[in-house]
Amino acid sequence: MRTFLALLKKEELALFTSPIAYVVVALFLIVMGYTFTLSLFLSHINDFVHMFFQIYALFLLTVPIITMRLVAEERRLRTLETLLTAPVTEAAVVLAKFLASMSLLVVMLVLSGAYPLTLTVFGSPDWGPIYSGYIGLLLLGAALVAIGLMTSSLVANQLIAALLSLSLFLLLWIIDHFGWLLPDPFDAFVVNLSLLVHFTPFATGNIFLSDAGYFISLALLGLFLSLRALAWR
């Protein structure tokens, strides 16, 4: 456990001492702040559903930037050799990288908590959908980070890793549109691969185990494939 904590600390330091983390958080807050101000003060909308969809889209765009260097950089600089010839398991390395990236998303979500709190000044927001939305974002984040980690484990070039992640995310975003074109039973299968289809209930205040199971399965699959990619040398 202490070895794992050492790995986690190293990953957290690498993430939070790089400018990427701060640029991502700053961009996230600027876009969120702009949209929130616009919707509350100009459109007078006192709910948070559209904000959750905006965070959803921002996650799709920023997670590839956060995860691109995780393993790709270690492969390029060959530090993976230094790391994995020490007595640590590949699973511990993968999990530490995953949790470190998740912690940045958690920081972003915690900072975005200022917006629902602001709503309480002007009215009484319905907290149920806000809680479910944040749970959905956490699950979505976990799935995206695991996929980003997987693509970073497959290549030694950060840019390619980021583009690969982004392509996969966009495909999973819009895949339900293709699903509707397919005959039964393929339509249901493809539609159910969609990130948006499973995220929408969370954003609108509904928590279904099937949606949570989808994101958890995606995260576990991403972590498993990352592990396999790391073991493939």
Partner 1 sequence: MRQSDIVVEDLVKRYGRRVAVRGVSFTIGEGEIIGLLGPNGSGKSTILRILTGYLPASAGSVRIGGIEVAEASLAARKLVGYLAEDAPLYDGMRVGEFLRFMAELKGAFGGAGRRAVRAACERLRLEPVLGMPIGKLSRGYRQRVAIAQALLLEPPILLLDEPTNALDAYQVIGIRELIRSLAGTRIVLVASHVLTEIEKVATRVMILREGALLTADAMAEAAHSSRIRLGIGGPGEAVLGVLREVSGVVRAEIEPGTPARGSDLHRYLVEGATDGLAEKLSNAIIGHGFALAELTEEKPDLESIFLALTRRADPALAA
Q: Contact between 107 and partner 1 (CB under 8 A)? A: no
Cα 85 from Cα 115, distance rounded (Å): 46
Looking at this protein, which amino acid is placed at residue 18? Answer: S
Answer yes or no: are the C-beta atoms of 201 and 189 closer than 8 Å: no
We find the least distance from the C-beta atom of residue 232 to partner 1, in angstroms, to be 10
30 part of the interface to partner 1, by CB under 8 A? no
One-letter identity of residue 29? L
Tell me which residue of 204, 230, 175 sits closest to 50, measured CA to CA: 204
Convert residues 85-104 into a mask of x (bound to partner 1 by CB under 8 A) and - (unbound). Answer: xxxxx---------------
- The C-alpha atoms of residue 36 and residue 96 are separated, in whole angstroms, by 33
Comparing CB distances to partner 1, the nearer of 93 and 108 is 93
Residue closer to partner 1 (CB basis): 10 or 228: 10
> Least distance in Å: CB of 85 to partner 1?
4
Place of tokens 């996929």: 147
CB 11 → partner 1: shortest distance, Å?
11
Site for partner 1 in 145-184 (CB under 8 A): none
Please state the closest distance from residue 28 (CB atom) to partner 1, in A: 23
Length in residues, the chain: 233
Backbone angles phi, psi at 200, to 5 degrees: -55, -45
Which residues form the interface with partner 1 (CB under 8 A)? 2-3, 6-7, 9-10, 13-14, 17-18, 77-79, 81-89, 233
